Structure 1
Amino acid sequence: MVICSCNRLTDKDVESAVAGGATRPREIYASKGCKAQCGNCVPGVVCLLREARMKQVQAGLMQQSAPVTALSA
């Protein structure tokens, strides 16, 4: 889905940037070599950024809480 028509920024671009370490909207734009133009997309970018970061946190918590099984010799 296109989030920013000025820069052709998509939801996949946001997810990719977050996976690459982006934590702020400007870092999302920078990952595509652009910046916010008219600003109408910024709320959507922020929302997707929060969602993607939350998924990262949840994935990390799930990995930490995975049961450890003992191997018997």
Structure 2
Amino acid sequence: MYVCLCKGITDGQIRDAIYEGCCSFREVRDTLGVATQCGKCACLAKQVVSTTIGDLHNAQAALAYPASLPG
């Protein structure tokens, strides 16, 4: 889905930027240019960043505590 129409940035591109090392909305904005023109997409872009970072933290936490095997 398009998040920033001015720059043509999708939610997938935002997620990819985070997977490639961006750790904050500011870093995503600086990398992709999202929310740098009219700014109407800033709230949605921040939500995508927050959700994606939260999902990554949850996935990392799950790896830190593997399920024990029966037996």
Query: Which stretches in structure 2 are left out of the alignment for 5+ residues?
Result: none
2:26 aligns to what? 26
Structure 1 residue runs of 4 or more that deviate by more than 4 Å after TM superposition: none
Q: Between Structure 1 and Structure 2, whose CA radius of gyration is higher?
A: 1
Q: TM-score, normalised by structure 2?
A: 0.83
Letter in structure 2 aligned against 1:24: S
% identical aligned pairs:
21
Q: Please tell me the root mean square deviation across aligned C-alpha atoms, in Å.
A: 1.6
Q: Structure 1 residue 68: deviation in Å?
A: 5.2
TM-score by length of 1: 0.81
Uncovered stretches (5+) of structure 1, i.e. residues with no partner: none
**What is the aligned residue count?**
68
**2:25 partner amino acid:** P
